[in-house]
Amino acid sequence: MDTNLVGFENRIKFLLGIKKMTIRELCEKIGMSDVNLYRRFKAGSIETKHLEKIAEVLGVHPGYFFGSELERITENERRELILMRAQVSQLEKQAKSWEDIANKYVEQAAYNRSIADLWIKHANDIEKMVVELRKEVAELRKIKSV
C-alpha cells in the first residue's frame, strides 16, 4: 500500500541532518536503493512498510511524515516537553537544596573535627602538665624527706 506524502523528502533530509546520516546510509538500513528512494521523493508516495522502517531508523513516529498530523503531534509533544522541563527544573532545585544541606553537614563535621582536634591537643597538653607536676611532687617529696 502506498502512502501519499507532502514534503516527505524535506522531512527526511531534515532528520538525516540531525542524525548526521546520509541518504545512502538510510537506504542501507531500510533495504532500499537510493535511486528507488529518490523516485519515491519525486512521486511523493512510498509503501507503508518502507515509511515505517524509515521512521524507526530516524527515531520518529510515522505520523511525522504527514503534514497536518505533524502539528498536532508536535503540539502535544511541546506540552509534554514543557511539563517535563518544569519537573526537571523542580528536581534541579530540590537537588541543589539537598546539596546545600549536605555541604552544611560536611562543614559542620569539619568544624566538629577541628574542635575535637583542639580538645585532643588540650588533653595531651594537660597530660604532659600532669606528668611534669608528678615529677615536681616527687622531687619535693625527696627534698622534704631529706
* Contact yes or no for 64/70 (Cβ under 8 A): yes
Look over the chain and give the mean of its residue pLDDT values, rounded to a whole number.
83
All domains of the chain, ordered by start, with CATH? 2-65 (1.10.260.40)
The model's pLDDT over 63-121, given as tens digits with 9 standing for 90+, comes to 777 755 445 556 667 677 778 888 888 999 999 999 999 999 999 999 899 999 999 99
Tell me the H-state helices in the chain.
Answer: 8-19, 23-30, 34-43, 48-58, 67-145
pTM summary value: 0.43
Tally of CA atoms within 13 A in the half-sphere of 31 that contains its CB: 7
Phi, psi of 122 (to 5 degrees): -65, -40
